[in-house]
Amino acid sequence: MSTPLVELDDLHFSYGSRRVLNGVSLVLPEGKVTAILGTSGCGKTTLLKLIGGQLRPERGAVRYRGQVVHEMNTGQLYRMRRDIGMMFQQGGLFSDLSVFDNVAFPMREHTRLPERLIRDLVLMKLEAVGLRGARDLFPTELSGGMNRRVCLARAIAMDPALAVYDEPFAGLDPISLHAVAKLIRDLNDSIGTTSIVVTYDVSESLKVVDDIFLLSEGVVVSHGDPVALSQAGNAYARQFIHAEPDGPVAFQQPAPPLATDFRFTRPDIHP
């Protein structure tokens, strides 16, 4: 049996007194697109930081190609990160670099390729996301959808073994959203990478991913392929996929009765 590309084993993590992960275990199938879904604040981005070695778990382990990430030395961690392409939640394009130079940046940073070859590779990546004609523009000149597509081109610039997309659909109009989702799927298949899509956008994720892990309250509450998860009797999966207001995930943060927070109360309002 081959070693999984990424394996999370009983991960626990807190920010101070706030518990975020309570024993998350999952395996990312190599060559597949896996979605990690959950409500805002459930620990999705924290998982990515643990995978990348930015954070250390309190308990448990993240393994990349069988190696425990938080036990790697600086050189090993640097080599692992060269294997990973990242599309950041906030975009993260360099504002003073053109579209072309943003996509070329990882190639210039991590390789000794001649500029002529870098030029050809960058144009190929931009062509793949439909933005070869925008190569001389700057990030401030791009629409939200175009910005996301440049981020996508930069994330796969080095044909990474692992491509990570943190909220890739946030703030996109329906046309751009569908285009970016399809690009993630097509690029994953064409370059043979393994992809993680961290998002709360269920409808688009169900169309393009192979496997889904649903997080809530710091644990994996449901797991399966899109069809199985859509038909699952699991209450968490049903509420999340069908956007139901009532279910195991509460909309209201626990609090005392509303009247107790007012200095003056009417006679007909009782705590």
Strand duo 18-28 + 6-15: pairing: antiparallel
Residues 180 and 249 in one domain: yes
Residues 74 and 103 in one domain: no
Average pLDDT over residues 81-102: 90
Task: Please tell me the pTM assigned to this model.
Answer: 0.81
Residue 108 lies in a domain: yes
Please state whether 31 falls in left (phi above 0), alpha (psi between -120 and 50) or beta.
left
- H/E stretch holding 183 reads helix 174-191
Residue 138 lies in a domain: yes
Angle between helices 144-155 and 174-191 (to 10 degrees): 10
pLDDT in tens, 207-261: 788 988 988 888 888 888 877 777 766 777 777 776 666 665 665 666 777 777 7
What value does the mean pLDDT of the chain take? Answer: 84
Q: With CA atoms as reference, report the closest residue to 13 among 25, 24, 1.
A: 24
- The domain boundary, picked from 158, 191, 208, lies at 158
Residues 225 and 105 in one domain: no
Residues 68 and 115 in one domain: no
Residues 169 and 257 in one domain: yes
Confidence (pLDDT) at 266: 58
Size of the chain in residues = 271
Tokens of 51: 């995978």
pLDDT in tens, 34-77: 999 877 777 888 998 999 999 999 999 999 998 999 999 999 99
Confidence (pLDDT) at 59: 93
Residues 37 and 139 in one domain: no
Tokens of 6: 């990424």
How would you class 50 by CB atoms within 10 Å of its CB: exposed for 0-12, middle for 13-18, buried for 19 or more? buried
- The domain boundary, picked from 141, 158, 175, lies at 158
Residue 101 lies in a domain: yes
Instruction: Give the residue numbers spanning the domain of 126.
Output: 96-158
Residues 243 and 174 in one domain: yes
Residues 138 and 176 in one domain: no
Residue 131 lies in a domain: yes
Residues 35 and 146 in one domain: no
Instruction: Name the domain count of the chain.
Output: 2
- The domain boundary, picked from 109, 133, 158, lies at 158
Residue 229 lies in a domain: yes
Q: With CA atoms as reference, report the closest residue to 212 among 236, 244, 179, 182.
A: 236
Angle at 116 between CA 111 and CA 120, to 5 degrees: 90
